[in-house]
A and B are shown apart, each in its own frame.
Chain A
Amino acid sequence: MLTISRDLVDAIVAHARRDHPDEACGIVAGAAGSDTPTRHVPMLNAERSPTFYRFDSMEQLRVWREMDDRDEEPVVIYHSHTATEAYPSRTDTSLAGEPRAHYMLVSTRDPEQDEIRSYRIVDGSVTEEPVRVIDAKVDPAAVTTYMFGQNQAQVDYECSAG
């Protein structure tokens, strides 16, 4: 499961919307081994393409060194699909090079509806995982109603069937 704050999800979706119809890409760094994404780094799509993305190699070196210096790793690696569903393409799968990262996909095909999904991609094999979005800004004292097993500060998105 990917657990991520609402602020970070909003920032990722905003980046994807801003770059539409080109694909947007970036990372969320977090302390090494923590599995907790904390620092959003939008990256340039060197391809500037609606069907392909690639981090600019010099920017990637700078950002990866910065993570090294701060003892961080890329907890989330995200990119957008601008005309198709938020599911890894064949190229995404064959090129995935960070086995410990959560690969997040955002689809901007529907201008009204955000679609975010998360995957592990290891050795060419894709496993979808649930995304738990934590809303840190919710006032815990506020009166709300919620279902058993849920609370007002988090929303679980189950994997889509198939």
Chain B
Amino acid sequence: MAIEVRIPTILRQYTGGAKAVEGAGDTLADLLTNLDTAHPGLRARLITAEGGLHRFVNVYVNDEDVRFLGALDAKLDDGDTVTILPAVAGG
């Protein structure tokens, strides 16, 4: 099952500079575990020590923010596109 994952500039150090990579998984959590094999370090930038999705990373499945889809439990299907963007935020 192939899912396209779009990688932001700041995380391309983990993908050899690639803007998009392919992964597999039934949920976002599975996908991130799967991606970490080919791209070690990527998962740790997205998931906190407590095991939740990092607050200042936005992850989308197709056109939806995964926060509205169950976060790491968000279901994925073949052909979905997952987009990762650093939140733009500050004080």
Indicate if the CB atoms of B90 and A92 lie closer than 8 Å: yes
Q: How far is the CB of A96 from chain B (nearest CB, A)?
A: 7
Residue of B nearest to A55 (CB): B88
Stretch binding the partner chain, chosen from A56-64, A136-144, A152-160: A56-64
Q: Is A99 an interface residue (CB 8 A)?
A: yes
Interface pair A51/B91, CB less than 8 Å apart: yes
Residues of B within 8 A of A88 (CB): 90
Q: Mask for B55-68, Cβ within 8 A of A = 1, else 0? A: 01010100101010
Q: Which chain B residue lies CB-closest to A89?
A: B91
22 residue pairs bridging A and B, Cβ less than 8 Å apart: A54-B87, A54-B88, A55-B89, A57-B60, A60-B85, A60-B87, A61-B58, A61-B60, A61-B83, A61-B85, A77-B88, A89-B90, A90-B91, A91-B89, A91-B91, A92-B91, A95-B86, A95-B89, A96-B90, A98-B9, A99-B9, A99-B10
Q: Mark A90-114, 1 if CB is under 8 A from B, else 0.
A: 1110011111100000000000000
In A38-67, the 8 Å CB interface with B consists of 43, 47, 51-55, 57-58, 60-61, 64
Residue B25 lies at the interface, judged by CB distance under 8 Å to chain A: no
Closest to A49 in B: B91
A27, A54, A99, A100: the one within 8 Å of B89 (CB): A54
Distance between Cα atoms of A152 and B7 in the complex (Å): 43
User: B58 contacts which of A27, A60, A77 (Cβ < 8 Å)?
Assistant: A60
20 new A-B contacts at CB < 8 Å, known A89-B90, A89-B91 = A27-B88, A43-B88, A47-B89, A51-B91, A52-B89, A52-B91, A53-B90, A53-B91, A60-B87, A61-B60, A61-B63, A79-B90, A91-B89, A95-B56, A95-B88, A96-B90, A97-B56, A97-B87, A98-B86, A99-B10
Contact B89 A53 (CB under 8 A): yes
Query: Total interface residues on A, using CB and 8 Å?
Result: 27
Contact of A100 with B56 in the complex, beta carbons under 8 Å: no
When distances are taken between beta carbons in the complex, the residues of chain A under 8 Å from B88 are 25, 27, 43, 54-55, 60, 77, 95, 97-98
CA–CA, A51 and B90, complex, Å: 9
Q: Of the candidates A27, A55, A92, A99, which one forms a contact with B87 in the assembled complex, judged by CB atoms under 8 Å apart?
A: A55
Residues of B within 8 A of A98 (CB): 9-10, 86, 88
| Chain B residues whose C-beta falls within 8 Å of the C-beta of A57 in the assembled complex | 58, 60, 65, 67, 87
